[in-house]
Amino acid sequence: MAVDLQSKEQFVEILRESSEKLVVVDFYSQTCPPCRVMDQALTELARQYPTVGFYKVDIHRLTEVAAQCRITATPTLQFYRNGRSVNEFRGGSRKAIVDAIEAGLSADSGSGEARSAFGVVGHSDVTRLVHKTQSECLNQDDDHPLENVFSEGDSVLASDVDEQMVLHVAFSQAIKLHSIMLKAPADRAPKTIRIFANRTDIGFDDAESTPATQEIEMTEAMYESGGVVNLRYVRFQNVDSLSIFVADNLAGDDVTAISQIAFIGTPLDSANMSGISKSEDGHAH
């Protein structure tokens, strides 16, 4: 959730913090109904963008800060990078907020260049939107669970009684999914993968008999070149969950292992944030 600043000194400190990451400041008033809707939106976005700093300023408590930032209406969002405001708008839809955050993050990753993730230009890494507590893996080794694949590191997801696994992956909001990226130990890397969009009821029998949204045959060369596989984009335009069936592995081993999975695409504006949208002047205080 957004941190409510209590002093001018704290505001100065977050300006210093903006030299290291994008900072979003919500200028609000206790008497402003749209501000409560904005606060809820930022609480959700703070979970989705853990590398972004989210803060709030009560304009009636920190009047000097509000005056210095030229705040004339609430809610007003200001986006800070390297100690200066790089974007601002009053009110705004969830999509406008997300677009501004994505633009700020893209600027961080490379000045003037199109955003990209794992070499896929025009899309971002949306793995941050995975709802981990609602995701699971059937036939996982409990010592090597699913959560290991959602970040880089030495840990792996491994199968248990045989080489097959079914991964049920839930997202916290709908996405347009362009590609997936797989890293795996060479001797236990997945080979045949069947992906089912918006299906959370897939078991092992269903995974083999039900038509998949897309089936992929991984090769050693594909892993060596980065493990990125482009999907049939038109089939993955509104995805809130995936079931991924791993049928076998390249070595024909009894254990399949995955080091990392990343999802590459674009978040959709799935939440109804119309309560935030106001006139150009916002909600005057």
The CATH number of domain 3-113, selected from 3.30.2320.30, 3.40.190.10, 3.20.20.105, 3.40.30.10:
3.40.30.10
pLDDT for residue 83:
84
pLDDT for residue 142:
97
pLDDT for residue 152:
83
pLDDT for residue 202:
96
Overall size of the chain counted in residues: 285
- Annotation marks residue 69 as catalytic: no
The structure tokens listed for 55 are: 């803060």
Cα 220 to chain centroid distance, Å, stands at 28
pLDDT for residue 116:
64
Which DSSP state fits 182?
E
The structure tokens listed for 88 are: 């601002």
Residue 182 contacts by C-beta under 8 Å, 6 or more apart in sequence?
189, 190, 218, 223, 227, 229, 258, 260, 261
**What architecture is domain 124-267?**
Sandwich (2.60)
pLDDT for residue 98:
85
Active-site position among 23, 24, 32, 193:
32
Active-site position among 35, 62, 100, 261:
35
Note down pLDDT in tens along the chain; length 285 residues.
789 999 999 999 999 888 888 899 999 999 999 999 999 889 888 888 888 899 999 999 999 999 999 899 999 999 998 888 888 888 767 888 888 888 777 665 544 344 567 878 778 888 988 999 999 999 999 999 999 999 888 999 999 999 999 999 999 889 999 999 999 999 999 999 999 999 989 999 999 999 999 999 999 999 999 999 999 989 999 999 999 999 999 999 999 999 999 999 888 753 333 444 443 344 444
Q: How many CB atoms lie within 10 A of CB 132?
A: 12
Phi, psi of 183 (to 5 degrees): -120, 140
The structure tokens listed for 77 are: 């969002």
For the chain, what are the domain ranges? 3-113, 124-267
pLDDT for residue 115:
52
Q: What is the DSSP string of 128-165?
A: GGB-GGG-EEETB-TTS-GGGGGS-SS--EEBSSSS-E
What's the CA gap between 2 and 119, in Å, rounded?
Answer: 32
pTM of the model: 0.59
- Annotation marks residue 137 as catalytic: no
pLDDT for residue 157:
98
Label residues 77-87 b or e (16+ Cβ within 10 Å = b).
Answer: bbbbbeeeebb
